[in-house]
Amino acid sequence: MSSLPKIASIGFVGVGIMGQSMAGHLLAAGYQVHVYNRTKSKTDALIAKGATWHDTPGAVAAQSDLIITMVGFPSDVEEVYFGENGIIASAKEAILVDMTTSSPSLARKIAQEAAKKGLASIDAPVSGGDIGARDAKLTIMVGGEQAVFNHVLPVLQKLGTSIILQGGPGMGQHTKMCNQIVIASTIMGVAEGLSYAKKVGLDPAQVLQSIGGGAASGFQLNVLGAKMIIGDYAPGFYVEHFIKDLKIALSEAEQMNLALPGLSLAKSLFEKMAAKGLQRNGTQGIFQIYID
Ligand code: NAP
């Protein structure tokens, strides 16, 4: 596109666990925020703080200089961009920012279709969980053009603290896959270490006090391991979303002939959870596979 719009109004599509906090930060920063979500009631708190409701993603897009999407699955991303009353058809001189964890190929498709309409776009998936979203401390991994990244950066800085352009369209999503591959084996290790502690007669909470301060420390152990110990499986990050990510990462790896046995094993364990009806638990619920 020839010139990038001054960003005063921001559209936000998808205000679930993550989007709810993120849209709230943008409102607090003084942007006009336009919202749409499949379940309307989830926008109530944002509307009470000044956001404006619209009936479709396209209606949000038509009013916005920049449109952020934070929906669930790639099929949801397809729907809000390309479906009836979708964003691509209705956006005018806007910048599109998909922050959903989705496939790199879909990110490239959005970039191509946006460019055909003279719209700028980036893929910008995040890490840091519900806590990172709430505290505006997300890690944001971006794919797209440098000029668009520079223009959008002040908005992203309202949401996160580590914001890095990783390459062209789709490269933000590829970086997020690196993150999910690391997490996949890490959370299995956390569940295994804590189930070993239980079985051998140690106090898992006290074990966590020791190992949580050593070389094994990190979000998966210190935050999610602590939840495993008390049996708190409420979702910060849904198992069904993690399975979606593991499938995307495995499919990309297979296309490159890259063997990732830890990732394959994690996928099979999380699918075992889903088969037990536990797909709406948080990922720390993997502990149940070991202790039940
Ligand atoms: P979530 O709570 O399910 O939020 C997604 C929201 O998008 C839901 O409110 C959903 O509506 C809405 N939505 C889905 N499809 C839609 C559509 N076609 N049109 C309009 N709204 C639609 O999930 P989340 O935890 O916020 O995660 C969002 C994305 O970020 C996922 O891709 C996830 O993998 C990724 N992510 C999550 C975390 C985390 O820790 N939670 C961290 C990093 C990345 P309903 O309310 O009707 O379901």
Helix (H/G/I), strand (E/B), else coil: 123: strand
The ranges of the chain annotated as CATH 3.40.50.720 are: 9-167
CATH of the domain spanning 174-291: 1.10.1040.10
Per-residue pLDDT, 192: 98
Task: Give distance in angstroms: CA of 200 to centre of ligand 1.
Answer: 39
Q: Residue 3's pLDDT is what?
A: 83
Query: DSSP H helical segments within 4-103, as ranges?
Result: 17-28, 44-48, 57-62, 74-82, 87-90
Question: Which pLDDT belongs to residue 291?
Answer: 87
Answer whether 71 contacts ligand 1 (Cβ < 6 A): yes
Q: Is the CB of 179 under 6 A from ligand 1?
A: no
Q: Which helix (H) or strand (E) holds 180?
A: helix 171-199
31 Cβ partners below 8 Å, 6+ apart? 7, 8, 9, 10, 155
Q: What is the CATH number of domain 9-167?
A: 3.40.50.720
Residue ranges in the chain modelled with pLDDT below 70: 1-2, 292
The predicted pLDDT at position 2 comes to 55
Contact of 140 with 165, CB cutoff 8 Å: no
- Ligand 1 center to 192 CA (angstroms): 29
Domain with CATH 1.10.1040.10 in the chain: 174-291
Burial of 206 (0-12, 13-18, 19+ CB in 10 A): exposed
Side-chain half-sphere of 185: how many Cα atoms within 13 Å?
Answer: 11
Distance 15 CA to ligand 1 centre (A): 7
